[in-house]
Structure 1
C-alpha cells in the first residue's frame, strides 16, 4: 500500500479522498452507504429487463434500451432499400459508438478510482460478501479454502460468534441466489413476462427449464466454492478495471502509515490485524499495490482500521489516498528493499 509518511525523508503534501467522514461513526456510515448502493443496483439488475431498461429479446431479434426498441437499422438494407454504406453507418452509430463510449467511461472511472464498480455496485460481488459473512458465522472462515479461521474478535471489539447451525442458512442462500440469478439472466434474453409467467404457472418450456436448471447448478457451485476466486481470476469486467487502475500511478489506493506498522500488527488481541480479516477478496490490505491487483475499493479494511484505532490520538493507519501520496507506494517498497 502507499506509504503516507517516512521518518527518513521530508514529508510531502498528501491528498486524501474526501469520502471518509472523520469520527467514530464514519466506518459504519460509509459501509451503510455502500450497502445502499449495492442493494439499489441489485434491484436494478433484477428489474431492468422487466421495464425494458436493458435487455436483448431473442424472440423479436432486437434489443431494448430505456424502454425503447434498439435496432441496428438493417431492415431497409435487407429489404433492398438502403446501400451497404448506409447499413455500415447505422451499425457504427447505433452499436459501436454507444458501446465504445460506455466502455470508455467505465474504464476511465476504473483508471481514476480502481474497481469501484465491483466494490460498490456489482450484483455478483454483493452475493460474494453476503455468503462470506454467512460462511464465517458457520465455520469461522469466509471461504472453504481458507487455511486458518478468522480472528476471534471483530474490529469493534466484540467477540466473533461461530455456530455450525448457520450452515443450514449458507447452502440454501447460495442456491437461492443462484436460482434468482439464473431466472434474471434468462429475462435478459427472453420477454420477462413470458419467463415469469411460465415459472409461476409451472409451465416452463424445455429450453427454459434446461437453462434455469443448469445455471442454478453452476452458480450454486460457484457461490459456495469459488466466489472471490471468480472475481480475482476469471471476471473480465474486473480484470479490465484492474489493468486500467494499475496503469495510473495517481489512482486512488489504500494508503498505509508504515512508520506505525507496530500498531497495525497488534490492533486485535493475539496480535492479529483487523484489516486482513475483513477483506472479502482475501488480500493483505497493507501490501504493495501490484499485490492488491484485485482490490475492489470496498474500504472495509480502512473502516476496520478506523474502528480499532478510534481511541488512538494518532488516528488510523489506513486511508484512501491519491496523487503524490499514491506514487510513494512503489518508492517506499524499493527503499525498504535497498536497506
Structure 2
C-alpha cells in the first residue's frame, strides 16, 4: 500500500472541502439566515413548514409531520451517517475534510520552520531531517509568515462564520466598503482575536477535547474494537531502533502512533505517521539497513484488536497474516 499516494489524495480533499466551506454561504448551498429566521439549503428556504398551522390552515398532525420530515429526519440522517463513519473509521472527517485541521497542519509546518517544534508547548525540538531525507532548518524569519498566516486565517474564519449567520452579500459588501455595522464589527474583531489565540497557542488542545464533533467521533471509535487503527508490526519492532521516531515527529496531533488505541484517543487517521514510516522503511533517514514494507499500517476488523485490546496485560489472539495481507 502506498500511503504517500493516499495522502496526496487527502490534501486535494482538504483543499476542496476548505473551498466549499468558504463558498457554501455565498452560493446558498447551506447557511442559517438570522434575518429570515430559518436555514437556506441549495438556494431554497428550509423552514419547519408550520406557518400554515400557526395561521390555522393546517392540522396539528400535518404540522408534526412537517417537523419530522424537515427537522428530525435530516438531523437523524446526518447524525447516523457521522456515527457510522466514526464507528468504522474514527475521526476520518477531522483528518481528511475538516477546514480547522487543514489550518492546524499548515501552522504546524510554519511553526516547525520557525521554532523546530509543532507547538509552543513542546519541550523537545523536532529532527531537522525528514523521513525522506530532506533537511528543514528552522529560522526566526519564519515568525513573520507564521503570524501573518495565523492572523489571516483567523480573520478569514471570522468573516466566513458570520456569513453562515447573516446574508453573505451584505457582509462582503459592508466589509469591502468599510460599512460594517457595530455588531458585525464586534463579531469579526472578537472572533478573529479568539481564533488567532487558538491557532497560535491551543489548536491541538481544541482538536483533542474542545471540538464537540471530534470528541464525539473519538468516543464512537473507541467503542468499536474492530475499527480502523494505526497498528505496529510488533514482530519487526527491532527495525524501529535505528529510526528517530519519525512517526511521532510527523503526527500533527503530537501522538505516539506505536502506542495502544487507548492512548491514541484523538487520532485523526490522517496517515502522516504511516507515510513517514513508509519513507523510512523504503530507505529514508533512520532506515535499519533494510528495504521493506512499513512497520506501521492501517488495520481493521479482527486485526485491529491487536491495538484496541492490547492493554492491561492482555494479548489478543489475532490472525497471524494481518500485516502481510495489508502489505500485498
SS at match of 1:296: coil
Say yes or no: does 1:314 pair with 2:292.
yes
SS at match of 1:117: helix
CA distance in 2, matches of 1:206, 1:227: 29
- Residue segments in structure 2 that go unaligned for 5+ positions in a row: 284-289, 316-328
Superposed CA offset, 1:140-180 (max 9, x none): 00100111111131111222210110001111110100000
* One of 162, 171, 174 as aligned partner of 1:195: 171
Matches within 5 A, 1:14-29: 20-21=1-2, 26-27=3-4, 29=5
CA distance in 1, matches of 2:236, 2:126: 23
The residue that corresponds to 1:185 in the other structure is 161
Structure 1 segments of 4 or more deviating over 6 A? none
Q: Tell me by how many angstroms 1:261 deviates.
A: 1.9
The residue that corresponds to 2:126 in the other structure is 150
Q: Tell me by how many angstroms 1:335 deviates.
A: 4.7
CA shift in 2, pair 1:330/1:122, >3 Å: closer
CA distance in 2, matches of 1:47, 1:121: 15
Q: Tell me by how many angstroms 1:330 deviates.
A: 4.4
CA distance in 1, matches of 2:116, 2:292: 32
CA distance in 2, matches of 1:330, 1:195: 48
Q: Tell me by how many angstroms 1:62 deviates.
A: 1.6
Say yes or no: does 1:326 pair with 2:298.
no
The residue that corresponds to 1:291 in the other structure is 263
TM-score (norm 2): 0.91
| Higher RCO by CA contacts (8 Å cutoff, separation 6 or greater) | 1
CA distance in 2, matches of 1:303, 1:280: 13
Q: Tell me by how many angstroms 1:96 deviates.
A: 0.8
The residue that corresponds to 1:212 in the other structure is 188
CA distance in 2, matches of 1:331, 1:90: 45
Superposed CA offset, 1:9-29 (max 9, x none): xxxxxxxxxxx33xxxx52x2
CA shift in 2, pair 1:331/1:224, >3 Å: closer
CA distance in 2, matches of 1:205, 1:333: 56
Between stretches 136-145 and 78-87, larger displacement belongs to 78-87
CA distance in 1, matches of 2:184, 2:310: 55
SS at match of 2:32: strand
CA distance in 1, matches of 2:228, 2:221: 8
